[in-house]
A = this chain, B = another copy of it.
C-alpha cells in the first residue's frame, strides 16, 4: 500500500483590478509567467469568489492554455469569514478541513482571492492555518500586493510599518482611531497603512486631513498597477494647500507617518 504524494496549498496572487473601471492591465504586466503557468495547471481551487476566479482563469488561459477545461475544474468558495478573532480557526472547523481533502489525495489546491495575495487583508488565513495543522505544505507565489507597492511608493518608513485594515465608520470613533494611529506612529516611528471601501475614499481622506497634525506625512496610492494609478505623498499641510479628489471606484491605500 503506497501513500500518494500529498498535494500542496498554493497561494495564488490575483491582479489588482477587481471592480475597477477601464481596461484591466495585461496579466503579464502583474504576474510572473511561471505563476500564470502554475495557475493553468491546477485542477482544484478554493476561492473567495468563484465567478471572479473563472474570470481570472480566462485571462490565464489566454496566456497559457488551461490543463483542464474551465467547466471541469473544481472551484469551491471559502465559507464567509466569521466575525471575531482570526485565531478562531485554530480549532479547525470541519468545513475548512473538507476543503483540503483533495490535497490528501495528491492534488495541489489553489487558494485565490478577488485581488492581490490571498490571506493578506483578505479571507483565507483560516484555511492556511488549517493546512499547517493538517501538515499540508503551503506555498505562496509572488504577485502584486497593493499594501507593499503603496508602502514602497510612499517614501515613508519601510523599515517599520503596520497594516491596520479598515477604520471605524462612525465619525467620532474614526477620528479617535486616526489620532490613536498617529500617536502609535510617532511613538514607534512606524508607518501605519489602512484601506477603505472605494466609495468612502474621499470621506476617509477628509477625516485624515481633519484629525492629523500638519507635519504628519500622508501618502495616498490610488489604483496601483492601473494605467491611471498614482501615489501622492505630502505633509498634511501640503495636502490641505493642494487638495486632490479621489475616485470612488478604485482601491486606495492610505499611509501615514507622524512628523
Whether the pair A120, B151 counts as a contact (CB closer than 8 A) is yes
Interface residue tally on A, bucketed by range: 35 or more
Residues of chain A in range 37-88 having any CB-CB distance to chain B below 8 Å: 85-87
A183 at the interface (CB under 8 A from B): no
> Does B125 contact A155, Cβ atoms closer than 8 Å?
yes
In terms of DSSP, what is the predominant structure of the interface of chain A? Answer: mixed
Contact with B along A85-96 (1 / 0, CB 8 A): 111000000000
Q: Which of B86, B153, B159 contacts A11 (CB 8 A)?
A: B153
CB-CB under 8 A from A131, the residues of chain B are 155
> Contacts A162-B162, A189-B86; is A155 near B132 (CB within 8 Å)?
yes
Q: Does A203 contact B (CB under 8 A)?
A: no
**A-to-B contact residues, CB < 8 Å:** 11, 25-26, 28-35, 85-87, 117-122, 124-132, 137-145, 147-165, 189-190, 217, 224-225, 230-234, 257, 259
In the complex, the answer to whether B86 meets A159 with C-beta atoms within 8 Å is yes
State in angstroms the CA–CA spacing of A30 and B160 once bound together.
25
Tell me which of B32, B119, B147 contacts A32 (CB under 8 A).
B32
Complex interface: chain B residues within 8 A of A126 (CB): 155
Question: In whole angstroms, what is the CA distance A115 to B125 when docked?
Answer: 26
Check A153–B140 contact: CB distance below 8 A. yes
Whether A132 and B234, one on each chain, are in contact in the complex, defined by CB atoms closer than 8 angstroms, is yes
* Contact yes or no, A85 B189, CB < 8 A: yes
